[in-house]
Amino acid sequence: MSTVAVLQGGRSLERQVSLKSGARVEDALQRLGHTAVAIDAGSDLVARLTDAKPDAVFVALHGRDGEDGTIQELLEVLGLPYTGSGVAACIRCWDKVLTKHLLRGVGIPTPDFHAFSETAFRELGAAQALPAIESQLHFPLVVKPAAQGSALGIKFARTATDVPAAIVSAFSYDRKVLLERYVPGRDLAVSIVEQDASPMALPVVEALPEGRDFYDFEARYEIGRTRFVCPAELAAQTAERAQALAVEAYRALGCAGFARVDLMLHEDGELFVLEVNSVPGLTETSLLPQAADAAGIGFDQLVERILAMALARVP
Ligand SMILES: Nc1ncnc2c1ncn2[C@@H]1O[C@H](COP(=O)(O)OP(=O)(O)O)[C@@H](O)[C@H]1O
Ligand SMILES: [Mg+2]
């Protein structure tokens, strides 16, 4: 049996979700007979890890620091084995622009896009290129910060007049913004868990908006306004294609352990990868545990498997 530090909380915008993921992981570890040491990731992180002397670290941090490779870098320095993806894969997943370039580079479909830094707007007059971007991507278009999660800072621009405010809003989350072609269709997620060192796609989950205008994006993500269906009601070949694309994306980004790939299924049947989450939610209502459950993998078994992979990768 192992002593496992469960990193959670932190300073990111997803602190509350992370605390829930962490608490649930701790409970599972205890049921499995391990010793779980909860650590809220703050300025005493290194000291607390040094005191705890864990055999492994379970990273249950979402968002900045936990998903962008920062924590992973620290754990490498301390020589502590940890769950999930390594530093480089976290960096690739956290930056949606980098993710999309890498996916496009290996032929994985992702919606067309253009991305700019704040300095391009401030110092190079990038705003004057907006009409050209708009005519290439068409309306509505999606404006999002390169980094962040949980739909933070994402806006749908219906016309050219919506674009500047959407860009300003995205810049409040990150110094780089992504303008992306809108994909009309269904919102899918494929979670991946490795089995015997090869990525295994879990059943597809569909996020369904409850009523309301489908452009009313903010409303969609309010609690209770989205319903999740797993396995998603899809033709077998569509589900298999979504799973295959998710595994390809996971490999292309060099992920390890587990991850969740978000996709859109266009009305015309085409699939597009939006992003890959390197530390997906592990709460009662999170998609990865739901998908694992649908595949007959209970939460404790999931945690044990993720932990075993970390322990097998002792640095
Ligand atoms: N290009 C797009 N076309 C249609 N819907 C999109 C598009 N990009 C994002 N969305 C919607 O916004 C949600 C969140 O976008 P995503 O890129 O996964 O960012 P994050 O989950 O990190 O906030 C998606 O699940 C989808 O519902
Ligand atoms: Mg997403």
Does 46 share its domain with 14? yes
pLDDT at position 13 is: 86
Q: 243 with 204: CB under 8 angstroms?
A: yes
Binding site membership of 275 for ligand 1 (Cβ less than 6 Å) = yes
Of the three residues 137, 162, 181, the one that is the final residue of a domain is 181
Of the three residues 181, 204, 235, the one that is the final residue of a domain is 181
Of the three residues 66, 83, 100, the one that is the final residue of a domain is 83
Task: Give the integer Cα–Cα distance in Å for 293 and 301.
Answer: 10
Task: Give the integer Cα–Cα distance in Å for 175 and 173.
Answer: 7
Catalytic position from the list 21, 277, 278, 286: 277
User: DSSP per residue over 10-34, as a string?
Assistant: -SSTTHHHHHHHHHHHHHHHHHTTP
Does 100 share its domain with 218? yes
Cis peptide before 131 (omega within 30 of 0): no
Task: Please write the tens of the pLDDT for every residue from 241-252.
Answer: 999 999 999 999
Instruction: Summarize the confidence of residues 3-28 as an average pLDDT.
Output: 96
For the CA of 152, the nearest ligand: 1
Does 278 share its domain with 148? no
Does 271 share its domain with 227? yes
Does 190 share its domain with 268? yes
Does 166 share its domain with 214? no
Say which CATH number the domain at 105 has.
3.30.470.20
Does 141 share its domain with 222? no
218 has a pLDDT exceeding 60: no
- Nearest one of 132, 261, 242 to 192, comparing CA atoms: 261
Indicate if 260 belongs to the active site. yes
Binding site membership of 182 for ligand 1 (Cβ less than 6 Å) = yes
Question: What's the CA-to-centroid distance between 195 and ligand 2, angstroms?
Answer: 24
Does 196 share its domain with 172? no
- Cβ atoms within 10 A of the Cβ of 106, count? 11
Token reading at 190: 């494929």
Indicate if 14 belongs to the active site. yes
Task: Please write the tens of the pLDDT for every residue from 115-149.
Answer: 999 999 999 999 999 999 999 999 999 999 999 76
Task: Please write the tens of the pLDDT for every residue from 149-194.
Answer: 677 789 999 999 999 999 999 999 999 999 999 999 999 999 999 9
* Count of domains for the chain: 3
Say which CATH number the domain at 128 has.
3.30.1490.20
Does 19 share its domain with 144? no
This prediction's pTM: 0.95
Task: Give the integer Cα–Cα distance in Å for 12 and 10.
Answer: 6
User: DSSP per residue over 222-286, as a string?
Assistant: STTSEEEESS----HHHHHHHHHHHHHHHHHTT--SEEEEEEEEETTS-EEEEEEESS---STT-
Percent of the chain with pLDDT over 90: 89
Q: Which residues surround ligand 2, an ion (CB under 5 A)?
A: 262
Does 198 share its domain with 167? no
pLDDT at position 209 is: 79
pLDDT at position 315 is: 54
pLDDT at position 215 is: 46
101 has a pLDDT exceeding 70: yes
Residue nearest to atom 2 of ligand 1 (CA): 182
Indicate if 150 belongs to the active site. yes
Q: What residue type is 208 in one-letter code? A: L
Catalytic position from the list 11, 182, 221, 305: 221
Task: Please write the tens of the pLDDT for every residue from 281-314.
Answer: 999 999 999 999 999 999 999 999 999 999 997 5
Does 102 share its domain with 234? yes
Task: Please write the tens of the pLDDT for every residue from 251-262.
Answer: 999 999 999 999
- Domain range for 158 is 113-181
Indicate if 105 belongs to the active site. no
Task: Please write the tens of the pLDDT for every residue from 56-81.
Answer: 999 999 999 999 999 999 999 999 99
110 vs 223, residue with greater confidence: 110
Binding site membership of 264 for ligand 1 (Cβ less than 6 Å) = yes
Does 103 share its domain with 245? yes
Residue 182 CA, closest ligand 1 atom number = 3
Cis peptide before 184 (omega within 30 of 0): no
Q: Which of 204-208, 209-213, 239-243 has the lowest mean pLDDT?
A: 209-213
pLDDT at position 211 is: 63
Say which CATH number the domain at 79 has.
3.40.50.20
Q: How far is CA 227 from the centre of its chain?
A: 19
pLDDT at position 212 is: 54
Indicate if 221 belongs to the active site. yes
Task: Give the integer Cα–Cα distance in Å for 26 and 5.
Answer: 9
Binding site membership of 221 for ligand 1 (Cβ less than 6 Å) = no
